Amino acid sequence: MKKDVKKVVLAYSGGLDTSIILKWLQDEYKCEVVTFTADIGQGEELEPARIKALELGIKPENIFIEDLKEEFVRDFVFPMFRANAVYEGEYLLGTSIARPLIAKRQAEIASLVGADGVSHGATGKGNDQVRFELGYYALGDNLTIIAPWREWELNSREKLLAYAEKNGIKIEKKPGKSPYSMDANLLHISYEGLVLENPANAPEKDMWRWTTDPKDAPNESEIIEIGYEKGDPVSINGKRLSPAEILTELNRLGAKHGIGRLDLAENRSVGMKSRGCYETPGGTIMLKAHRAIESITLDRGAAHLKDELMPKYAELIYNGYWWSPERLMLQALIDKSQENVNGWVRVELYKGNVIILGRDSKTDNLFNEAFSTFEEDNVFDQKDANGFIKLNALRFIIGKKAGRKFK
């Protein structure tokens, strides 16, 4: 049974699906629709979304198109990379980390315009419905959530196209547009569908949109230096840049050198497995460089605890719990660990590889050559290791006396 909703804020891209949803909301719910289009670096011209919304009867004051690239990188991507977050050992969470920001801004716009509902175009099979809606519940003020894919019977492309034709919704095929199901933002681009639905099939070579094939990447490597402050990259080759500028430049460099391609069969939050391909050039560089600067600035116990907690942190983001108390608790711990992660990392980029060439911190370096050297030193008495080892072996000694065997 449909709830009575007067005004709905729709996460709107201007594409076929969300244009149909816009019209469907008007017809089925008889409500006023507000469109919200977020620029988080997807690399597409967004002004056509405004024109399309106007053509579908949306009032100019009800069309919101906002540049959120800096907020996206500063408040979502960078905090996640402080944790070195990787889902199931490989995925850098490019789609997962964008949804909390979109949901947050939708809820804010709903409050601003007095809307009592929000809507999205995620399907009932995927992860994004969970990510959006957990955000609405956490941040919204008693909003009705409308998920058309869980309500309507337009469950095939043929039915969607027929609905669009019947209602005069323009269907535009953009030149060079990929036939894959794609999601792009400043951190990554993803591909699903078509031949990828069979994990035994290799991705088609012309599928990749951002990165050079590593085999075709430049034969000359490129060396860059990334500066870090409190765990975040702040400069490239000595030039300070904003968060979005940092990621944009690392994307350019990584894509040029064939860095960041991934082919993954992952476990969706709703239960089934899904095969997707990803390009995350800048993020791949950031992950390797961040671990390098941490290697000399983090205490062993702190570093190991972070590594133990990371899979849980990554899973929370993947499953949509960015706004949960437990993610916020983990973030506070992670951010505390980053207070001394300051310095620089020198990185070589070459045919799909990110190679660490050096790292240093003038203020927070825990690598002490006087202790670590293989040459003669005057600070470490090697005889001290005798008692240390014997204490660690004490449980074995006692166990053997009691008749225990360790094989």
Active-site amino acid positions: 17, 99, 128, 181
CA quadruple 10, 15, 20, 26: dihedral sign = positive
d(CA 156, CA 122): 14
Helices 325-337 and 300-318 meet at what angle, rounded to 10? 150
Nearest CA to 56 out of 10, 1, 102 is that of 10
Neighbours of 342 (CB within 10 A): 20
The response to whether 278 counts as a known ligand-binding position is yes
Helix, strand or coil, per DSSP, at residue 349: strand
d(CA 273, CA 265): 7
The response to whether 156 counts as a known ligand-binding position is no
The response to whether 176 counts as a known ligand-binding position is no
d(CA 266, CA 28): 35
The response to whether 384 counts as a known ligand-binding position is no
The response to whether 121 counts as a known ligand-binding position is yes
The response to whether 62 counts as a known ligand-binding position is no
Q: Which H/E stretch holds residue 128?
A: helix 128-139
The response to whether 82 counts as a known ligand-binding position is no
Residue the block writes with tokens 């300051």: 342
**Could you tell me the end-to-end alpha-carbon distance of the chain, in angstroms, rounded to an integer?**
65
The response to whether 12 counts as a known ligand-binding position is yes
The response to whether 119 counts as a known ligand-binding position is no
The response to whether 231 counts as a known ligand-binding position is no
The response to whether 266 counts as a known ligand-binding position is yes
d(CA 299, CA 295): 9
Nearest CA to 135 out of 296, 24, 1, 9 is that of 9
Neighbours of 195 (CB within 10 A): 13
d(CA 347, CA 97): 25
Helix, strand or coil, per DSSP, at residue 320: coil
d(CA 406, CA 402): 12
- In 206-313, the DSSP E strands lie at 222-229, 232-236, 239-240, 261-267, 273-279
The response to whether 17 counts as a known ligand-binding position is yes
Neighbours of 354 (CB within 10 A): 20
| Two tokens, residue 348 | 């070589």
The response to whether 14 counts as a known ligand-binding position is yes
d(CA 367, CA 385): 20
The response to whether 123 counts as a known ligand-binding position is yes
The response to whether 19 counts as a known ligand-binding position is yes
The response to whether 313 counts as a known ligand-binding position is no
The DSSP 8-state label assigned to residue 230 in this structure reads T
The response to whether 350 counts as a known ligand-binding position is no
Binding residues for L-aspartate, by number, are 123, 127-128
Binding residues, by number, are 11-19, 38, 91, 96, 121, 123, 127-128, 131, 181, 190, 266, 278
Binding residues for L-citrulline, by number, are 91, 96, 127, 131, 181, 190, 266, 278
Binding residues for ATP, by number, are 11-19, 38, 121
